[in-house]
Structure 1
Amino acid sequence: MVAGRVSVLGAGVMGLSTAHELALRGHSVTVIADRTAEASVSGVAAALWFPHRSGASPFLVPWLLAARRRFEQLAADRGTGVDLRPGTVVERSADADRSWTEAVPKYREATADELPPGAVAGVRAVLPVISMPHYLPWLRARCAALGVRFATRTVGRVDDLAGGAGRAGGTDLVVVAAGMRSGDLLDDDSVYPVRGQVLRLPDPGITEWITDEDHPGGLAYVVPRRGEVVCGGTGEIGSWDTAPDAGTEREILRRVCALVPALAGRPVLSRAVGLRPARDAIRLEHVPGHALPVIACYGHGGAGITLSWGCAQAVADLADRI
């Protein structure tokens, strides 16, 4: 498609990244959403670059690689909120999936003294950590500087935009990157929530992250960001409950303090719940049968930030071919 008018549904990190890439290619872009990125699941994420329970795709590694490279470039500018930090991916089974390391140029085996009790192996790597309170305002400002417009409204179905939403004069293309709402917009009942509960503690001076997906007590991760440590978590498939649970919080604290004893006794700064928009396979494709050309970009599970720039570039490439 030659440079045209594009409406991006969704103002989370996937929607904003996609709007950014489309605007770079000369499209006139409007982001339409009923909430800000900070109020979406993007604002809850610990935001370690790691494909936590992402949907499947044959393009997963190229998307991961493209996103990691972009985040590493952004880390050169402190104003972006992106930092490169060392850490450990804990493995508790001999057949742990390491396909993600294809997108990492340097990593090594964790030594026994770098692993918690019960771990059979692990991977040590330096990966991007994105401080979302800094990154989301920066990303929105970058979009605005490229001419992206923002509209606050609720869209019931993508065909509602055929009458002239987005910018005056109508919309030539719609991109659906609305997280959990994406399925409703496209009558796709394959999208389901994976509830994630987190809490934030003041940083006692931790410099390394750790993630232990198969911890016997439940999912556990510790991600230090600027001035805070994000601790989690849960992965409750099918749960729509967005209220933090006190009992779950106690269990999270028990797990993360066992992994990182320096966190013991730290006060809780805040707590939150986000619903990861999951799907058995990531949907990134042209969707026929609508009043306007439509591109779907959703179903990233817990890897929306991790895949954001790679998928945004893929959407822009697809838009060029429509």
Structure 2
Amino acid sequence: MDFETFQMMWELSAPGGPAEKCFLRLNQEEYHCEERPKPDILEMMPDEAWPGRAVDGIAFTTLTIDTPVYLDYLMSRFVKGGGSVVRASVQHIDALVDGTYSISDDTESPELASPHAVVVCAGLGARTLGGVEDENVYPIRGQTVLLRAPWVRFGRTLSSEDGTWTYIMPRKSGDLIVGGTIEPNDWYPAPRPETTRDILERGLTLCPDIAPPDIRAVRDATIDDLVPTIIEEGCGLRPGRKGGIRLEVESGRKVPVMYNYG
């Protein structure tokens, strides 16, 4: 799945293509503080010294996604292809299969009353959505910081012994994501200030280049030098699932129901 997705996105990111603005092709460095399986023949070891306590590393060419821009692109393709969007509150997937749900003004939507198929991408909602109620789904809280740093045009990550991932992820627009956290079963929905500072400290240690060039030209940058470049602090609950992704088709209903979540 990863490989096929990468191939598709690499094609979409081609210079001059309709989706070029959604992606940034870049050089990526990944470092690990724990021993990793040896890289395959398509990977190469980086020439530079490894940061911190890293004992393993690889370098390769890849891409990043500017997710809000990419979602707008996908929606435009969907609408141009004849698609339409209806927002409704659905308590059970049977309401979708039977076309008995109501849209926001409490009237039925006859044009969507008989779907050819239902695709359930409910994320964390799969825990409570009637007809699914998957207790294996749980939140993995992630916090990031979005900076304005158009001078950064490469990616870098470091995995530590305690399971922490530090990553530098530039976007085509010049915005830069610095992260992050992996916190299973943490439902807190807002950024924690102490976590933001920890992320910036780790990010600056891993990649001093995230600080403004004019500051780095005269002295070592500090966390305070990053504050003016902050666009926003991000926080989200990733839909983890014990046993991994659920990707299957249920064919015993009136129409096929496809599950894709976790």
**Does the TM-score normalized on the shorter chain lie above 0.5?**
yes
**CA separation in 2, counterparts of 1:216 and 1:263?**
24
Deviation for aligned residue 1:243: 0.4
Aligned CA distance change for structure 1 residues 234 and 212 (closer, same or farther; 3 Å): same
Partner of 1:108: 44
Are 1:110 and 1:121, in contact at CA under 8 Å, matched by a contact in 2? no
**CA separation in 2, counterparts of 1:93 and 1:128?**
25
Partner of 2:22: 81
**CA separation in 2, counterparts of 1:294 and 1:124?**
41
Deviation for aligned residue 1:154: 2.0
Structure 2 residue 245 is the aligned partner of structure 1 residue 298:
no
Structure 2 residue 177 is the aligned partner of structure 1 residue 211:
no
Are 1:209 and 1:223, in contact at CA under 8 Å, matched by a contact in 2? yes
Partner of 1:135: 70
Secondary structure at the residue paired with 1:281? coil
User: What is the 5 A alignment of 1:50-199?
Assistant: 63-76=1-14, 77=17, 79-94=20-35, 96=36, 106-113=42-49, 115-164=50-99, 167-185=111-129, 186-199=132-145
Q: Which whole-Å deviations, capped at 9, do the CAs of 1:202-237 have from their partners, x for residues lacking one?
A: 115111111223265932111011211101111000
Structure 2 stretches of 5 or more lacking a match?
102-108, 212-224
Q: Percent identity between the aligned chains? A: 29
**CA separation in 2, counterparts of 1:239 and 1:277?**
11
Secondary structure at the residue paired with 1:110? coil
Secondary structure at the residue paired with 1:151? coil
Are 1:284 and 1:296, in contact at CA under 8 Å, matched by a contact in 2? yes
Q: 1:257 aligns with which of 204, 209, 218?
A: 204
Aligned CA distance change for structure 1 residues 246 and 97 (closer, same or farther; 3 Å): farther
Deviation for aligned residue 1:168: 3.5
- Residue identity in the other structure for 1:245: R
User: Whose Rg is larger?
Assistant: 2
**CA separation in 2, counterparts of 1:250 and 1:161?**
44
Structure 1 stretches of 5 or more lacking a match?
1-62, 300-322
Aligned CA distance change for structure 1 residues 138 and 197 (closer, same or farther; 3 Å): same
Deviation for aligned residue 1:198: 0.7
**CA separation in 1, counterparts of 2:161 and 2:208?**
16
TM-score relative to the length of structure 1: 0.66
Are 1:157 and 1:184, in contact at CA under 8 Å, matched by a contact in 2? no
**CA separation in 2, counterparts of 1:290 and 1:241?**
37
**CA separation in 1, counterparts of 2:138 and 2:151?**
37
Are 1:212 and 1:219, in contact at CA under 8 Å, matched by a contact in 2? yes
Aligned CA distance change for structure 1 residues 74 and 88 (closer, same or farther; 3 Å): same
Structure 2 residue 143 is the aligned partner of structure 1 residue 200:
no
Q: Which whole-Å deviations, capped at 9, do the CAs of 1:283-318 have from their partners, x for residues lacking one?
A: 10013665643111011xxxxxxxxxxxxxxxxxxx
Deviation for aligned residue 1:252: 0.4
TM-score relative to the length of structure 2: 0.81
Are 1:198 and 1:232, in contact at CA under 8 Å, matched by a contact in 2? yes
Secondary structure at the residue paired with 2:69? helix
Q: Which whole-Å deviations, capped at 9, do the CAs of 1:21-63 have from their partners, x for residues lacking one?
A: xxxxxxxxxxxxxxxxxxxxxxxxxxxxxxxxxxxxxxxxxx1
Partner of 1:277: 239
RMSD: 2.2
Higher relative contact order (CA 8 A, sep 6+): 1
* Length, aligned pairs only: 231
User: What is the 5 A alignment of 1:231-270?
Assistant: 231-264=178-211, 265-266=225-226, 267=228, 268-270=230-232
**CA separation in 2, counterparts of 1:71 and 1:112?**
29
**CA separation in 2, counterparts of 1:112 and 1:298?**
39
Q: Looking at secondary structure, tell me which structure has more helix per residue.
A: 1
Deviation for aligned residue 1:120: 0.6
Aligned CA distance change for structure 1 residues 187 and 233 (closer, same or farther; 3 Å): same
Q: Which whole-Å deviations, capped at 9, do the CAs of 1:129-172 have from their partners, x for residues lacking one?
A: 11123211111101111122211112111111233257444123
